[in-house]
């Protein structure tokens, strides 16, 4: 009997896993004992970290896109389609394309995060972002036309993709505006929902003095409630109102609806065992990357490491061997601290982050990492 592994989501986690499995299960694939299908709702693979650089004119959105066909092993069946329903009792999926159902023996959900700006009244019309491809392109024009006033960066949704990216944006904006001789004319304000500037206390403790040094104003305990695009104000549930000339936000995030509908977790995030990445509510279902609710940051590096764990576990299960690989919470992240300097953190469930002193070398390491991504995603590095 042929075992069918279905991966939903061809972003970082899903694509890395598809290539990892194609490599690990080569004999079984050649013998026709295993079939791997990767379902993604876009023919392109999108590498989102590129979007941070688009507003500053340093990258084009196309730099973050490659056809899935070019990135994923030929032995994987790629299906461009959107999964609309998961039935974990019957072990089958339904999709937009249609009439046929997709049956699986093993299912991996790697559906990532969704932006839901409509949750905040006025945000769709009043706010800009770099957390979507179109948002990053629009923001490039807005930033270029800002010559005076107040730039507000408001972190609205947590959890959100790449917890470092809001810090990176204000550090880069500060530097970029200084280079253009405009920093004196433009105030930068950063807001965060809790009592510190980042969810992780160690990173918050490191970032706060840099913000003070750079004259980046901070509003903590700022849970955005509404945006008034006419008056150009953003208000918080705590009663603070901020004027803005350019509002950049990290919009609220959610998982995908079909996960909640399938009873796999609230808000579209899959409840998983944080070590094995197995779904708690269904047999033979794994989740990885942003969609897996493990408590670690929603980061591409996390999705990458988790894909290796799920790949090893699935290969063992298919070979009727005990699945022993586990995820230890490993997270790796470069943090831009300006246009030509960056820091670096590496941590896991047990070890807290300790940001490295910013340097030009780490900035170039981040850019190099982004370029070599296309090789690492293929499993070539």
Ligand X SMILES: Cc1cc2nc3c(=O)[nH]c(=O)nc-3n(C[C@H](O)[C@H](O)[C@H](O)COP(=O)(O)OP(=O)(O)OC[C@H]3O[C@@H](n4cnc5c(N)ncnc54)[C@H](O)[C@@H]3O)c2cc1C
41 binds ligand X (CB under 6 A): yes
Six-digit token string for 260: 């909640």
Nearer to ligand X, 114 or 233 (CB): 114
- Closer to ligand X by Cβ: residue 191 or 298: 298
Exactly one of 127, 157, 289, 353 binds ligand X (CB under 6 A); that residue is 289
Q: Does 165 participate in binding ligand X (rule CB under 6 A)?
A: yes
- Which residues fall within 8 angstroms of residue 316, CB to CB, at 6 or more apart? 322, 323, 324, 325
Near ligand X by CB under 6 A: residue from 9, 122, 268, 353: 9
Strand pairing category for 331-336 and 342-347: antiparallel
Residue 76 interacts with ligand X (CB under 6 A)? Answer: no
The structure tokens listed for 220 are 């903590």
Report the site for ligand X in 186-215 (rule: CB under 6 A): none
Collect all residues with Cβ–Cβ distance below 8 Å to 380 and sequence separation of at least 6: none
Task: List the structure tokens of 344.
Answer: 């670096």
**Number of residues engaging ligand X in binding (CB under 6 A):** 37
37 binding ligand X? (CB under 6 A): no
Residue from the set 18, 21, 34, 52 that interacts with ligand X by CB under 6 A: 52
DSSP codes, 79-100: EE--EEEEETTTTEEEETT-SS
Query: Closest approach of Cβ 115 to ligand X, in Å?
Result: 9
- What is the nearest approach in angstroms of ligand X to the Cβ of residue 324? 24
Exactly one of 290, 305, 342, 353 binds ligand X (CB under 6 A); that residue is: 290
Burial of 104 (0-12, 13-18, 19+ CB in 10 A): buried
Residue 12 touches ligand X, criterion: CB under 6 A: yes
Q: Is residue 71 within 8 Å of 377, Cβ to Cβ?
A: yes
Q: How far is the CB of 105 from ligand X (least distance, A)?
A: 19
Burial class (CB in 10 A: 0-12, 13-18, 19+), 202: middle
Q: Contact positions toward ligand X, by CB under 6 A?
A: 8-14, 39-42, 46, 48-49, 51-52, 82-83, 110-112, 130-131, 161-162, 165, 256, 258, 289-291, 298-301, 303, 333
């Amino acid at each position: 009997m042929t075992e069918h592994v279905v991966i939903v989501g061809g972003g970082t986690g899903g694509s890395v896993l598809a290539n990892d499995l194609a490599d690990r299960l080569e004999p079984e694939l050649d013998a026709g004992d295993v079939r791997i299908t990767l379902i993604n709702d876009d023919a392109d693979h999108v590498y989102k970290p590129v979007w941070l650089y688009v507003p500053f004119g340093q990258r084009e959105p196309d730099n973050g896109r490659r056809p899935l066909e070019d990135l994923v092993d030929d032995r994987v069946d790629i299906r461009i389609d959107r999964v609309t329903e998961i039935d974990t009792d019957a072990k089958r999926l339904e999709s937009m394309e249609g009439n046929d159902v997709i049956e699986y023996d093993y299912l991996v959900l790697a559906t990532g995060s969704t932006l839901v700006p409509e949750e905040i009244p006025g945000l769709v019309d009043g706010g800009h972002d770099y957390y979507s491809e179109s948002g990053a392109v629009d923001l490039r024009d807005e930033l270029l036309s800002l010559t005076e006033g107040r730039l507000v960066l408001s972190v609205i949704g947590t959890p959100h993709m790449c917890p470092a990216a809001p810090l990176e944006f204000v550090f880069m904006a500060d530097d970029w505006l200084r280079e253009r001789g405009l920093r004196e004319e433009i105030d930068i304000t950063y807001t965060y929902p809790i009592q510190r500037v980042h969810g992780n206390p160690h990173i918050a403790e490191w970032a706060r003095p840099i913000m003070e040094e750079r004259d980046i104003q901070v509003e903590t305990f700022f849970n955005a409630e509404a945006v008034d695009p006419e008056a150009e104000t953003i208000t918080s549930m705590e009663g603070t109102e901020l004027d803005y000339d350019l509002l950049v936000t990290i919009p609220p995030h959610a998982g995908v609806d079909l996960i909640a509908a399938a009873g796999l977790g609230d808000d579209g995030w899959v409840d998983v065992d944080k070590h094995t990445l197995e779904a708690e509510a269904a047999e033979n279902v794994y989740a990885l990357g942003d969609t897996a609710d493990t408590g670690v940051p929603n980061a591409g590096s996390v999705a990458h490491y988790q894909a290796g764990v799920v790949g090893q576990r699935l290969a063992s299960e298919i070979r009727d061997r005990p699945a022993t690989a586990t995820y230890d919470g490993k997270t790796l992240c470069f943090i831009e601290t300006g246009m030509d300097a960056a820091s670096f953190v590496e941590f896991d469930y047990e070890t807290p982050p300790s940001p490295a002193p910013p340097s030009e070398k780490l900035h170039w390491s981040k850019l190099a990492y982004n370029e070599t991504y296309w090789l690492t995603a293929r499993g070539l590095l």
